[in-house]
């Protein structure tokens, strides 16, 4: 017998329902779920044909998705998102600028190096602007307290996420926090995490299409009852669903290449925020360096 679910009454309730039920959806409906979470304003305003093209699903699948969550059809679900726009006009403007920017840069085939630099600067600026919308003050405070309360912070992030995770490992060590960087050298990441304990913290970074090594480490930490602090691009990413706290980052594509400007900015805020709020750790680290 299938469990009955109440029909969401607000966009936030629907967003939470999508996150909670994401894994139970079919692969096709998961495409729409991710689109609904990442692009709620477009889902509110665009036609089914446009939504289908951008999400990679058929219009009929969008209707089926809406009915899965208790709506009579897609238009009723879209109306829920449209209602939420009344209090988020600034965010809507940002999303429109990102869409326009991506369209313009992907259509521009210049090989001029300085023009490329300008495109990356503009894309990075847009991503940085979004950071204050995707990361709430309480999210960052909770993340800093998780770092401060951990006996040891294990840090992991592979492929495109590697620069962010390596910076976090370095800066937290400099800030006096006992830190272990799970670099996965020689394929030993699964062995490196075996010593993790419930009093520790796994700080992990991963973006779509999500490195399987990172997901496996998060699963190992969860099995050890170790809290996870995740930096990722979606609340339905594999590491986000296992995390005690998610810091959400949405970088902007520049000619199908994603920068890490916003991610590194967030990493700096997290690491330096820890040092500022817990200066005793930084003082210990400074003393050790002065004696060496």
DSSP string, the chain: -PPP-PPPSSHHHHHHHHHHHGGGS-HHHHHHHHHHHH-HHHHHHS-HHHHHHHHTS-HHHHHHHHHHTT-SSHHHHHHHHHHHGGG-HHHHHHHHHHHHHHHHHHH-----HHHHHHHHHHHHHHHHHHHHHHS-HHHHHHHHHHHHH-SSEEEE--GGGHHHHHHHHHHHHHTT--EEEE--GGG-HHHHTTT--TTSEEEEEE-TT--HHHHHHHHHHHHTT--EEEEES-TTSTTGGG-SEEEE----EETTEE--HHHHHHHHHHHHHHHHH-HHHHHHHHHHHHH-
pLDDT at 6 over 80: yes
pLDDT (0 to 100) of residue 117? 82
Q: What residue ranges define each of the domains in the chain, with the CATH number in brackets? A: 11-86 (1.10.10.10), 137-291 (3.40.50.10490)
pLDDT (0 to 100) of residue 184? 76
* Other CB atoms within 10 A of residue 37 CB: 18
Average pLDDT, the chain: 83
Give percent of the chain with pLDDT exceeding 70: 84
pLDDT (0 to 100) of residue 93? 57
**Distance between CA atoms of residues 269 and 249, nearest Å:** 13
User: Please, which pLDDT band fits residue 97 given cuts at 50, 70 and 90?
Assistant: low
Q: What is the mean pLDDT of residues 13-42?
A: 86
Q: What is the mean pLDDT of residues 19-47?
A: 85
Most confidently modeled range among 75-79, 204-208, 251-255:
204-208
Cα 125 to chain centroid distance, Å, stands at: 18
User: Please, which pLDDT band fits residue 290 given cuts at 50, 70 and 90?
Assistant: very low
Give per-residue pLDDT as tens, 163-205: 999 999 999 999 999 999 998 777 777 788 888 999 999 999 9
* Other CB atoms within 10 A of residue 152 CB: 16
pLDDT (0 to 100) of residue 1? 42
pLDDT (0 to 100) of residue 221? 95
pLDDT at 234 over 90: no
Give the pTM.
0.75
pLDDT (0 to 100) of residue 39? 78
Which of the residue ranges 20-29, 99-108, 128-137, 202-211 would you say has the lowest mean pLDDT? 99-108
User: Please, which pLDDT band fits residue 148 given cuts at 50, 70 and 90?
Assistant: very high
pLDDT (0 to 100) of residue 155? 96
pLDDT at 29 over 60: yes
SS (H, E, C) 12-81: HHHHHHHHHHHHHCCHHHHHHHHHHHHCHHHHHHCCHHHHHHHHCCCHHHHHHHHHHCCCCCHHHHHHHH
Give per-residue pLDDT as tens, 102-129: 666 666 666 677 877 888 888 888 888 8
> In this predicted model, which residue has the larger pLDDT, 42 or 152?
152
Q: Sign of the CA dihedral 71, 72, 77, 80?
A: negative
């Amino acid at each position: 017998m299938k469990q009955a679910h109440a029909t969401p009454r607000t966009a936030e309730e629907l967003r939470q329902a999508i996150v909670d039920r994401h894994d139970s959806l079919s692969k096709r409906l998961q495409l729409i779920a991710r689109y609904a979470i990442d692009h709620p304003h477009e889902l509110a305003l665009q036609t089914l044909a446009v939504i289908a093209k951008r999400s990679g699903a058929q219009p009929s699948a969008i209707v089926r998705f809406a009915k899965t969550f208790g709506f009579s059809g897609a238009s009723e679900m879209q109306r829920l998102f449209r209602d939420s726009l009344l209090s988020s006009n600034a965010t809507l403007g940002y999303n429109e600028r990102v869409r326009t920017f991506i369209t313009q840069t992907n259509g521009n085939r210049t090989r001029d190096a300085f023009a490329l630099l300008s495109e990356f600067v503009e894309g990075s600026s847009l991503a940085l602007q979004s950071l204050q919308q995707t990361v709430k003050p309480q999210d960052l405070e909770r993340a800093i307290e998780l770092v401060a309360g951990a006996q040891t912070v294990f840090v992991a992030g592979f492929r495109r996420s590697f620069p962010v995770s390596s910076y976090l490992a370095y800066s937290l060590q400099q800030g006096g926090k006992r830190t272990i960087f799970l670099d996965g050298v020689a394929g030993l990441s699964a062995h490196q995490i075996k010593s993790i304990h419930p009093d520790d913290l796994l700080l992990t970074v991963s973006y779509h299409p999500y490195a399987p090594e990172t997901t496996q480490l998060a699963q190992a930490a969860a099995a050890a009852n170790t809290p996870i602090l995740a930096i990722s691009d979606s609340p339905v990413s594999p590491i986000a669903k296992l995390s005690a706290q998610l810091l959400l980052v949405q970088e902007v594509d520049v000619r199908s290449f994603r920068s890490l400007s916003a991610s590194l900015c967030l990493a700096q805020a997290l690491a330096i925020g820890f040092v500022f709020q817990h200066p005793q750790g930084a003082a210990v680290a400074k003393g050790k360096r002065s004696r060496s």
